[in-house]
Amino acid sequence: MVIVKNITCPALLVSAPASGQGKTLSTAALARAWKNRGLNVRAFKCGPDFLDPMVLETATGQPVYNLDLGMCGEQDGLARLYQAVQTADVIIVEGVMGLFDGTPSSADIAMRYNLPVMLTIDASGMAQTFGALASGLLGFQTAIIPAGVLANKVGSTGHADMLKHSLPDYLNWLGALPQDEAYALPERHLGLFRAQEIVDLDARIEAAALALAASSALPLPPMVTFIAPEITTSSIPPKLLVGKTIAIARDAAFCFIYPANIDCLQEMGATVTFFSPLHDKTLPEADAYWLPGGYPELHLKEISENTAMRNALLAAFNADKPILAECGGMMALCESVNGEPVYGLLAGNCNIEPRLQGLGTQHTDLLENMGNIGAHTFHYGKFITPLKPTTQANSRYGSGENIYLHGSITATFLHFYFSSNPALAARLFSYAKP
């Protein structure tokens, strides 16, 4: 019998009073500063975000997984943290929104996994209130373990000293990031730019890490005990995809892919390969295809002009190859986006609206007797179609996103989290002709 033991490791969760305070930059800078000391740093992201993990992956050089009590589940987070800590010298988790925002919130995740909390506070235009704000947030719930405070957008060394001395003795000072456009991370309607689009991202992170290290000794966070997950038959993904090859679209237009989803497919026995709908003229030979979300609306010219890819996708559809199209993937399969022609496999048209069209964690029992699968939606797209939805997802506010089954295509604005129900996820890549 193999005895699995609990493991201790320094760890913290980076949060803030609100969105826009600089959590991603400070998390990346702190992770890189520790990495520069020769430490093996593993980073995670709270919530179902795709973009922030890309930045943290650049900072650490390692894949970044999501922790979300709603979409992923408590046990999934427990297992991923425990797996990471086998080789990590320090764990850093970037929160989502403000510390107590959302249900579940970053605070809920911190308390569930006993993660000490570091606050990032935008200190521009702030002096002694910095200490009051930090102590108020970190003392709001007694179960919160304070790890310290980091000041962002600091105006000068004197300003940093003022902020530092405003903190009560029990709160550690974890440094300051100067107000400098050289560190800024550009954003668009869905959040930050993709890491690959920021050509000098590594240099920005390195500069921020050096500035942060110059302002503080950057002590490691408190030790945390990571509990060994209970391994049962039900927690091991079934080998439902042995012998199957799944080809995944991955390029600038199709890039919203949870690393855990790739792991899940491979753990079920699938061979995974990738292709670029923007640049490739043919599809790789595969048993099923997956077009994840991303930014097809920013690449309409390349999509409309790549008629060879359109023909290849149509041939796969006509051959009854299963095709999963999520969010931007679904948009690309319809007839037009913002009036520009796209692949045309789904009747209907998409437009990018000025206001958000969908947001939040959802669940769906897409197939009978197979339970729910966790998912997330965040989009400005609107799909106007004569197709009738096969089912709708459920959210805590009622009915959620439509799910369309059209021949061998499963299409929806949802992004599925495969590990929340591997057996159902495997069925997304199979098709039985009626």
Q: Would strands 117-122 and 7-15 be described as parallel, antiparallel, or unpaired?
A: parallel
Tokens of 243: 């012998």
**Peptide bond before residue 296 is cis, with ω within 30 degrees of 0:** no
Q: Strand (E) positions, 58-142?
A: 65-67, 90-94, 117-122
Let me know if 350 is a catalytic residue.
no
CA distance 339 to 353: 13
> How many other CB atoms sit within 10 Å of the CB of residue 163?
25
Q: Which of 216, 159, 176, 191 is nearest to 47 (CA)?
A: 191
Residue 361, CA distances (Å) to 61, 201, 238, 376 in order: 28, 30, 25, 4
The distance of Cα 7 from the centroid of its chain, to the nearest Å, equals 25
Q: Would strands 41-46 and 90-94 be described as parallel, antiparallel, or unpaired?
A: parallel
- φ, ψ of residue 155 in degrees (nearest 5): -80, -30
Alpha helices in 319-385 (DSSP H): 328-333
Angle between helices 51-60 and 201-215 (to 10 degrees): 70
Q: How many residues are given for the chain?
A: 434
CA distance 294 to 308: 21
Cβ pair 83, 76 in contact under 8 A = no
CB contact set of 250 (below 8 Å; sequence gap of 6+): 257, 274, 275, 276, 292
The helix/strand/coil state of 343 is coil
Please tell me which residue in 72, 327, 334, 350 is annotated as part of the active site.
Answer: 327
CA distance 43 to 83: 12
Cβ pair 411, 347 in contact under 8 A = no
> How many other CB atoms sit within 10 Å of the CB of residue 239?
13
What positions carry a catalytic annotation? 327
